[in-house]
Chain A
Amino acid sequence: MGDHHHGPAKGLSRWLYTTNHKDIGTMYLWFSFAMFLLGGAFAMVIRAELFQPGMQLVEPAFFNQMTTLHGLVMVFGAIMPSFVGLANWLIPMMIGAPDMALPRMNNWSFWILPPAFLMLASTLLMEGGAPAFGWTFYAPLSTTYAPPSVTFFIFAIHILGVSSIMGSINIIATVMNMRAPGMTYMKMPLFVWTWLITAFLLVAVMPVLAGAVTMMLMDIHFGTSFFSAAGGGDPVLFQHIFWFFGHPEVYIIILPAFGVISQIIPAFSRKPLFGYASMVYATAAIAFLSFIVWAHHMYTVGMPVAGELFFMYATMLIAVPTGVKVFNWVTTMWRGAMTFETPMLFSIGFLVLFTIGGFTGLMLSIAPADFQYHDTYFVVAHFHYVMVAGAVFSMTAAIYFWLPKWTGRMYNETMGKVHFWVSFIGFNVTFFPQHFVGLAGMPRRIPDYALQFADFNMMSSIGAFIYGASQLLFLYNVIAAIVAGKRVSDEKVWDGAEGLEWTLPSPPPYHTFETPPKIEEQPAH
């Protein structure tokens, strides 16, 4: 394994022309971290304005641009590319493949992303300002009443949609065609399984998003009336199309996170994952259900009662496979020889907080109750519990878990634990009070609020600053580990870690598994 035929090229051209899955994974991860900081900076502006009631720092129009860009950058720029980066690094190493199936397309799917986000961010400097209609860009706010920069926004969405579709086609082609001999589907690590299913979701729904923004483009510039009631169209149609994409999208974000957790919890419990097969089926069930629940985001548009009931029951059904997963993780830990290194702390943090987010989701699924919760801070609290404490915590756990493998150097464990506890406390101080102000009726996406919400909002803002600052500690810890971390001698790094990637040296050579490994004795999960 040790002799590699040639190393990476030198200088900038290594990164521009690379077709190596490890290089591309690294670029995805750094790019998404940069976007995480950018989206985080937007969030800090939002929380600073909401620190006290009344207008403090920014104009309402700019505040709306901040909420919009925060959502777009975090969903499409930070979370999604970070998991694609993880997939690039890990899937070939986990299934014993030498690289991704389509290395040149892989290069292109990454390199069209930075221009797309540069274009999106540049709308801030344009006349009329950046898009200010919320990350869900409901028509007619995003068509009739949109700033001129909306066209750049549409083009950016098109590009990152193309990037996602190429990336997921690549992942499916890799998993289906490049597994080492003996690596059957039901022996694949769960991270590979969840990404395979996620990639199918992406191929199915990113074109739907592209269709929605194309219709917006046509309404704005070519005189059609898809979403204009005056021209015989219907703005509610936009919401149906958007959420037909949007609900599978939230599982696109969370399924790879489930995969990560399913790798880490067994490693630090020193037990195999409980209920591997049921985990696979539960993931597939969640993916299927995601296509038939979209209208629970729009209970208040005036659907027929039968529609409300269908979407309510279908949504509640999702709690069943999700519950299977949560119980499997808990059962994996049961009577395990557990240790609590940073990746495990973030995974347990994920488990606790994601479950809270799942429960508030169940509350929101109840159609008659949702009329009260709709568009309030309760919704904001709910989706940050699943997006941040779900996706971002699991991503953080993944970085700590695999960083020693990737770099051959260990991060500072104490600093990692401090990062966890500060994040955990900061996160909860930020978002837990938002449940209360939401139930009391504070609407989302407004720069000012009634006086009775002042105390909880101040808490929220303080928590947000703490959570934001703790991510800089994370950045420092990662850089310090790469530059001067203690060298890892062991291939396994963690003594409970299982899987093919842990049979490679740390750091792995530039090219790995050019000869497929033997799977026979290898416990796959």
Chain B
Amino acid sequence: MRLSQDPTTDTVAKLGAVAVAMFAFVFVVMVPLYNVLCDALGINGKTSSEAYTAVVAQVDESRSIKVQFVATNNDGMPWAFSPDVTEMVVHPGAANDTVFFAANPTAQSMIAQAIPSVSPSRAAEYFHKTECFCFEQQPLDGNSEADMPLQFIVDQDLPADIKTITLSYTLFDVTALMRDNVASR
């Protein structure tokens, strides 16, 4: 910054820059930093958005964990969306398969995106998805339906006091968003 002759103009320019920088700080530092910290500490129930590569490990037959599934539509999402089973009892270390059912009752073809969340949030880092429909978008033609697969492993290191894990999905309509992206290319 070129220093101006007038000290007042100089002070104002510097302070104005500080104010603008602090506004930007919220968006470009605080939000990503929060996400990085939560990810590192596993504290806000967000699971990894990438497939987990299973490590060979012993299945811990001595522990049983109840895993519950919840499916919710975001506001204005017209699809039918539900888990095939609402809960499973699994052993840590074992790979488990289930499916979620989705149907598009409208006449138009649509694209949906599911966003997962794990409760209690402490369990998030011990809940590994080796295959999940949430890793990609789900297109469906009008009046059609699909079974969407999920494969997961509960980590053997899951803290002993956690007996039940709830996996919740919220389904978003991203049709308009995806069309805009295609159109802008």
Question: In the complex the two chains form, is B43's CB within 8 Å of A304's CB?
Answer: yes
Q: Which of B21-29, B98-106, B136-144, B150-158 contacts A (4 or more CB under 8 A)?
A: B21-29
Q: Which residue of B lies closest to A206 (CB)?
A: B19
Question: In the complex the two chains form, is B34's CB within 8 Å of A101's CB?
Answer: no
Question: In the complex the two chains form, is B7's CB within 8 Å of A176's CB?
Answer: yes
Which of B7, B22, B26, B38 interacts with A203 by CB under 8 Å?
B22
In angstroms, Cα B28 to Cα A181, docked, is 43
Question: In the complex the two chains form, is A203's CB within 8 Å of B117's CB?
Answer: no
In angstroms, Cα B20 to Cα A172, docked, is 17
B residues in contact with A230, CB < 8 Å: 72, 74, 115, 117, 170, 172
In angstroms, Cα B117 to Cα A445, docked, is 30
Digitize B117-136: 1 where CB-to-A-CB distance is under 8 Å, 0 elsewhere. Answer: 10001000000000000000
B residues in contact with A101, CB < 8 Å: 8, 11-12
Question: In the complex the two chains form, is B45's CB within 8 Å of A229's CB?
Answer: yes
Q: Which residues of B, 7-47, contact A by the 8 Å Cβ criterion?
A: 7-8, 11-12, 15-16, 18-23, 25-27, 30-31, 34, 38, 41, 43-46
- How many whole Å from B9's CB to the nearest CB in chain A? 9
In angstroms, Cα B97 to Cα A378, docked, is 50
In angstroms, Cα B22 to Cα A172, docked, is 17
- How many whole Å from A64's CB to the nearest CB in chain B? 23
A203-B15 contact in complex given A211-B26, A237-B34, A302-B43, C-beta closer than 8 Å: yes
Question: In the complex the two chains form, is A208's CB within 8 Å of B11's CB?
Answer: no
In angstroms, Cα B170 to Cα A102, docked, is 52
- How many whole Å from B136's CB to the nearest CB in chain A? 15
A240-B34 contact in complex given A176-B7, A211-B26, C-beta closer than 8 Å: yes
- How many whole Å from A126's CB to the nearest CB in chain B? 22
Q: Which residues of B, 27-72, contact A by the 8 Å Cβ criterion?
A: 27, 30-31, 34, 38, 41, 43-46, 72
Question: In the complex the two chains form, is A231's CB within 8 Å of B121's CB?
Answer: no
In angstroms, Cα B25 to Cα A210, docked, is 11
Q: Which residues of A, 313-369, contact B by the 8 Å Cβ criterion?
A: none
In angstroms, Cα B45 to Cα A241, docked, is 19
B residues in contact with A422, CB < 8 Å: none
A residues in contact with B34, CB < 8 Å: 234, 237, 240
Q: Which residue of A lies closest to B172 (CB)?
A: A231
- How many whole Å from A1's CB to the nearest CB in chain B? 25
B residues in contact with A173, CB < 8 Å: 8, 11-12, 15
- How many whole Å from B148's CB to the nearest CB in chain A? 17
Digitize A168-189: 1 where CB-to-B-CB distance is under 8 Å, 0 elsewhere. Answer: 1100110011100000000000
Which of B8, B20, B31, B46 interacts with A207 by CB under 8 Å?
B20
Question: In the complex the two chains form, is A177's CB within 8 Å of B7's CB?
Answer: yes
In angstroms, Cα B12 to Cα A168, docked, is 10
A residues in contact with B18, CB < 8 Å: 203-204
Interface residues of chain A, those whose CB is within 8 Å of chain B, are 101-102, 165, 168-169, 172-173, 176-178, 203-208, 210-212, 215, 223, 226, 229-232, 234, 236-237, 240-241, 244, 302-304
Instruction: Report, nearest first, the 6 A-B pairs whose CB atoms are least far apart.
Output: A211-B26, A230-B170, A207-B22, A207-B23, A173-B11, A169-B15
Other A-B pairs beyond A102-B8, A226-B31, 6, CB < 8 Å? A102-B12, A169-B16, A177-B11, A215-B27, A231-B74, A302-B121
Q: List 21 A-B contacts (CB under 8 A).
A: A173-B8, A177-B7, A203-B15, A203-B22, A204-B18, A207-B20, A208-B26, A210-B23, A211-B27, A215-B26, A223-B177, A230-B170, A232-B46, A232-B115, A234-B44, A234-B46, A240-B34, A241-B26, A241-B30, A244-B30, A302-B43
